[in-house]
Amino acid sequence: VQLRVLGSAAGGGFPQWNCGCANCAGVRAGTLRARARSQESVAVSADGEHWFLLNASPEIRAQLESFAPLWPREKRHSPVAGIVLTNGDLDHTLGLLSLRESYPIEVYATAGVRRGFTQGNALYATLERFPEQVRWHALELGREQSLGDRLRVTPLPVPGKLALHLERTSTPSPEDNIGLRIRDLASGKVLAYLPAVAGPSREVTAAVEGADCVFFDGTFWSSDELIASGLGTKRAEDMAHWPVGGADGSLSWLAKLPARRILIHVNNTNPLLREDGPEHAAATAAGVEVAHDGLELRL
Amino acid sequence: VQLRVLGSAAGGGFPQWNCGCANCAGVRAGTLRARARSQESVAVSADGEHWFLLNASPEIRAQLESFAPLWPREKRHSPVAGIVLTNGDLDHTLGLLSLRESYPIEVYATAGVRRGFTQGNALYATLERFPEQVRWHALELGREQSLGDRLRVTPLPVPGKLALHLERTSTPSPEDNIGLRIRDLASGKVLAYLPAVAGPSREVTAAVEGADCVFFDGTFWSSDELIASGLGTKRAEDMAHWPVGGADGSLSWLAKLPARRILIHVNNTNPLLREDGPEHAAATAAGVEVAHDGLELRL
């Protein structure tokens, strides 16, 4: 499996348009040892020819252009063989509406995430201009399914929540937020991809078991990160993210895994973004990396 | 008035994700004398402190970051004082959903464009998280209205069409597509902004009359541009764009205007993108410029 991180930030990106926090102001001014990041999306391929995107960020156009293997090879073409959605958050789905240039796309999602994006969404008509403009592939929890010829994906329910814009109108379900296990048939290598995890669970443990590489929710370092910085009133847990730091944080759990471990979906407020900071050093000491746009790996 | 072009391409941008035409392939390979362009949006300010965006492109995040005067000056802040929509096309509106980080925004649009974006759009709930998260200012055709303290805007109906995703469900109206006349109270200077014009009309003539600077629809060079290049079946007119070239093209009409004239909303297939091509030379000979991302001017 070849993998390229197209975007590594949480919703809003880093820096965020309306944020002048120390991180955002510092990265804009160039005074911080930190890298700007677009919103989370990863491209995965078994053969280097056919690529699957994990999530469709609002910044998908620039992200596709940032990586030459994703450029079209004919007059009308895309190496994007499919898009897998891990939940219905706008930072994971809005990019679909930027793929509206009359070209068929294949989207893999649970029935719940599909409904959340397509029902009552007048904008979606732009992706219904001809039959099968979008071919939806239903992800069924716990069932391994084909992702092209050479990859298999198993979606697992992980603690999370409904997309913000659906909270008032939809009923929560285990289909709302999933982790992915992606297996390469040729090499047997397994990638676990869990960009949003509200906390530990049996399924989370199962999702990473025996994986060669784990991408994991790195949204917040601490529960009160937004509150302490005067930027919000919600705790990490209110937003369904397991904080990385602290005695019960995901880092102490990730530290014990034998896989290559990479934090992704990093919020602009997260002190992990400072490459010379103590939080970054703690992650490194635990053997855990922080994803950045452009990171490539091969399993 | 200060102005900065944040994006100068039509929907899909240049290059376009699924397009390997001579222009797109050439700009990717670096073999064409052409500049990549993001989707059309312009920032306008009378004082350099408060900025109005004309249209909200899907690439708004990168566009705001590309121009330092649009960076926040406090922990939660944006110099974007308002966003004016010229129609409901997704390449003009989708960016609103990327401004969802719990910060109030002011949007100026006709009642028709507002309805087209907010009604039956479940995603819009992300902009309704607190009262007046979006304050809508109704643009009334032909009436001059305030755009902050120092600017005035007059919206004029110009030939155009409904946004693609609304074609099957909405009834066309003169509110669907407008041109803007923006007047600086201090200097008296007038900017005319008409990024989508289906053809000549009395209102189009009125919109540019006496303007110091005119931004005009530069989508297609010729009617059969998509057909001739094997990329589509629609003529420019079917997509409500007045071709630039030819005896009846907008260029021969623009050539007669005394204003500074700049083509914008340029489609990826348009030969005008080639800076060493005969179409570009014809525009230059007529005194007409082609907008590029980052172009700044002062009236």
Q: CA neighbours within 13 Å on the CB side: how many for B81? A: 17
Selection from A40, A18, A20, A37 nearest residue A29 by Cα: A20
What is the C-alpha separation between A109 and A87, in angstroms, rounded? 8
pLDDT tens series, chain A, 299 aa = 999 999 999 999 999 999 999 999 999 999 999 999 999 999 999 999 999 999 999 999 999 999 999 999 999 999 999 999 999 999 999 999 999 999 999 999 999 999 999 999 999 999 999 999 999 999 999 999 999 999 999 999 999 999 999 998 999 999 999 999 999 999 999 999 999 999 999 999 999 999 999 999 999 999 999 999 899 999 999 999 999 999 999 999 999 999 999 999 999 999 999 999 999 999 999 999 999 999 999 99
What pLDDT is recorded for position B10?
98
Selection from A222, A248, A250, A215 nearest residue A236 by Cα: A222
- Quick one: pLDDT band at residue B42, thresholds 50, 70, 90? very high
- Quick one: pLDDT band at residue B239, thresholds 50, 70, 90? very high
ipTM of the complex: 0.97
- Quick one: pLDDT band at residue B88, thresholds 50, 70, 90? very high
Contacts of B162 (CB under 8 A, 6+ apart): B88, B116, B170, B172, B176
Nearest CA in chain A to B126: A165
pLDDT tens per residue, range B125-140:
999 999 999 999 999 9
Q: How confident is the model over B237-251, as a mean pLDDT? A: 96
Q: In this structure, are residues B187 and B236 in contact, taking their beta carbons and an 8 Å threshold?
A: no
Angle, vertex CA A101, rays to CA B90 and CA A66, nearest 5: 90
Q: How confident is the model over B237-265, as a mean pLDDT? A: 97
What pLDDT is recorded for position B123?
97
Contacts of A53 (CB under 8 A, 6+ apart): A6, A41, A42, A43, A44, A60, A80, A82, A83, A84
**Cβ–Cβ pairs < 8 A, chains A and B:** 170
Let me know if B242 is exposed, middle or buried by CB neighbors in 10 A (0-12, 13-18, 19+). Answer: buried
Query: CA–CA distance from A28 to each of A37, A57, A277, B49, B83 (Å)?
Result: 12, 22, 18, 18, 23
Strands A213-217 and A260-264: parallel
Q: How confident is the model over B203-211, as a mean pLDDT? A: 97
Q: In this structure, are residues A259 and A208 in contact, taking their beta carbons and an 8 Å threshold?
A: yes
Contacts of A150 (CB under 8 A, 6+ apart): A46, A47, A184, A185, A186
Total residues belonging to chain B: 299
Name every chain A residue with its beta carbon within 8 A of the beta carbon of B65: 15, 17, 28, 36
What is the C-alpha separation between A112 and A96, in angstroms, rounded? 17
Name every chain A residue with its beta carbon within 8 A of the beta carbon of B25: 72
What pLDDT is recorded for position A288?
98
What pLDDT is recorded for position A64?
98
Looking at this protein, which amino acid is placed at residue A25? A
Q: In this structure, are residues B269 and B277 in contact, taking their beta carbons and an 8 Å threshold?
A: no
Strands B2-7 and B296-298: antiparallel
Q: A19 and B75 in contact by Cβ < 8 A? A: yes
Nearest CA in chain A to B169: A122
- Note if the bond before B271 is cis, omega within 30 degrees: no
Question: How far, in whole angstroms, is CA A139 from its chain's centroid?
Answer: 16
What is the C-alpha separation between A147 and B203, in angstroms, rounded? 53
Task: Kindly state the tokens that stand for A116.
Answer: 């959340």
Q: A78 and B126 in contact by Cβ < 8 A? A: no
Question: How far, in whole angstroms, is CA A14 from its chain's centroid?
Answer: 15
Name every chain B residue with its beta carbon within 8 A of the beta carbon of A12: 61, 101
Query: CA–CA distance from A229 to each of A31, A217, A222, B79, B258 (Å)?
Result: 19, 20, 11, 21, 53
Name every chain B residue with its beta carbon within 8 A of the beta carbon of A57: none
Gyration radius of chain B's alpha carbons: 18
Coil, helix or strand for B118? Answer: helix
Residues facing B192 on adjacent strands: B181, B214
What is the C-alpha separation between A218 and A241, in angstroms, rounded? 8
Q: B101 and A19 in contact by Cβ < 8 A? A: yes
- Quick one: pLDDT band at residue B151, thresholds 50, 70, 90? very high
- Quick one: pLDDT band at residue B27, thresholds 50, 70, 90? very high
Nearest CA in chain A to B17: A61
Q: B122 and A120 in contact by Cβ < 8 A? A: yes
Count each helix (H run) and each strand (E run) in chain A, helices first: 8, 14
Q: In this structure, are residues B218 and B270 in contact, taking their beta carbons and an 8 Å threshold?
A: yes
* Neighbouring C-beta atoms of residue B157, cutoff 10 Å: 19
Give B187-210 as a DSSP string: T--EEEEES---S--HHHHHHHTT
Q: A97 and B62 in contact by Cβ < 8 A? A: no
Q: A99 and B74 in contact by Cβ < 8 A? A: no
Q: What is the mean pLDDT of chain B?
A: 97
What pLDDT is recorded for position A8?
98
Question: How far, in whole angstroms, is CA A163 from its chain's centroid?
Answer: 14
Q: In this structure, are residues A243 and A236 in contact, taking their beta carbons and an 8 Å threshold?
A: yes
Q: B18 and A78 in contact by Cβ < 8 A? A: yes
Nearest CA in chain B to A62: B59
Q: How confident is the model over B266-286, as a mean pLDDT? A: 98
Q: B126 and A90 in contact by Cβ < 8 A? A: yes
- Quick one: pLDDT band at residue B179, thresholds 50, 70, 90? very high
Q: Is the dihedral of CA A106, A108, A111, A115 positive or negative?
A: negative
Strands B80-84 and B51-54: parallel
Q: A94 and B94 in contact by Cβ < 8 A? A: yes
Name every chain B residue with its beta carbon within 8 A of the beta carbon of A103: 18
